[in-house]
Amino acid sequence: MGVKAYFMINMKGGGNGHADALADLEAMPEVEFVAPVSGQYDFMVKVDAPTGVVQVANKILEKEWVKHLDVLKIEPHIPKPFLEEVCSIPSGESINWCAQCGMCSASCPNVAQMDYSPRKIIALIRAGKREQVLTSNTMSVCASCYLCTARCPEEVKITELMHALECLAVRHGLRGGRTPTTIMHRAFTESIKKNGRVHEVGLMFRFYLRTNPFAALRLSTVGLKLFSHGRMPLRARKIKGIEQIKAIIDKAQALGGA
């Protein structure tokens, strides 16, 4: 990874051959991002220049359709260990595409309960604020509805990012594994691993035993009604092929998930 540079490019011929020029730029290995612009210039280009900004600029200027190139900004490479750690996890690299438009925050049904909105979380990751991100409640409050992911114009995998950050928080000891969401996740996984399906009685027993046993009393009336209608069996029924389910969960846990 080298220096990042932003170029403004003007084409010859009044912009004719715009699509071909765009494809030509996107084919360059140094080019990370190309955006057509209006006004004096035709393109804004972001490049990674490991061999030097001048060398990459000259390579672009050699193209026959380029009339003029101006250097808009140069960013020296500054190590960002937290950003690089997040980018190394599945779907984490997609935060580099974020344009900070705020569509994710505007779409999130739970944003009012979050310490930081999804947009702010990405900004904090880029700023290297590891503890601020991983100790926030944002990931726990996420409902995994995927509305942010579906609406993101840059196709950032925000929901997957939230799951990955939750795992990172536990791994770094910044969660302690004691939040209600984390405890519910663990109880759910244990039920699946043991039976191959969710056993509601066992799930709720594990959850309330680890959080607040007395809170279960408030739900006893509902539980008795479900039991009387056969909707909450006391005995768990295991599925066939339970060992395959266990192997899948063990592998996911070894990779830092589940």
Please give the average per-residue pLDDT across 200-215, as a whole number: 86
Maximum mean pLDDT: which of 32-41, 110-119, 183-192: 110-119
Confidence band, pLDDT 50/70/90 cuts, at residue 58: very high
Same domain assignment for residues 49 and 99:
no
Domain closes at, from 171, 197, 220? 171
Q: Which domain holds residue 136?
A: 81-171
Please tell me the predicted confidence (pLDDT) of residue 1: 56
CA angle 221, 225, 227 (to 5 degrees): 115
Q: Hey, which bits of 129-205 come out as E strands?
A: none
**Residue located via tokens 């403004």:** 8
Tell me which residue of 198, 171, 172, 201 sits closest to 185, measured CA to CA.
198
Count the Cβ atoms, other than its own, within 10 Å of residue 4. 17
Confidence band, pLDDT 50/70/90 cuts, at residue 177: low
Could you tell me whether strands 43-49 and 66-75 are parallel, antiparallel, or unpaired per DSSP bridges? unpaired
Same domain assignment for residues 161 and 194:
no
Q: Quick: pLDDT tens for 100-146.
A: 999 999 999 999 999 999 999 999 998 899 999 999 999 988 999 99
Please give the average per-residue pLDDT across 197-226, as a whole number: 85
Q: How many CA atoms lie within 13 A of 210 on its CB side?
A: 18
CATH number, domain at 61?
3.30.70.920
Cα separation, 174 vs 180, in Å, equals 15
Same domain assignment for residues 86 and 153:
yes
Confidence band, pLDDT 50/70/90 cuts, at residue 175: low
In terms of pTM, does the model score above 0.75?
no
* 159-163, 231-235, 247-251: the lowest-pLDDT one: 231-235
Same domain assignment for residues 138 and 108:
yes
pLDDT averaged over the chain? 87
Cα separation, 156 vs 160, in Å, equals 9
Domain closes at, from 171, 201, 223? 171
* % of the chain residues with pLDDT over 90: 43
Please tell me the predicted confidence (pLDDT) of residue 71: 93
Q: Assess whether pLDDT exceeds 80 at residue 77.
A: no
Same domain assignment for residues 209 and 160:
no
Instruction: Render 18-58 in DSSP notation, one character per residue.
Output: HHHHHHHHHTSTTEEEEEE--SS-SEEEEEEETT-HHHHHH
- Total count of domains within the chain: 3
Q: How many residues does the chain have?
A: 258
Same domain assignment for residues 138 and 158:
yes
Element (H, E) at 5: strand 3-11
Which amino acid, residue 104? C
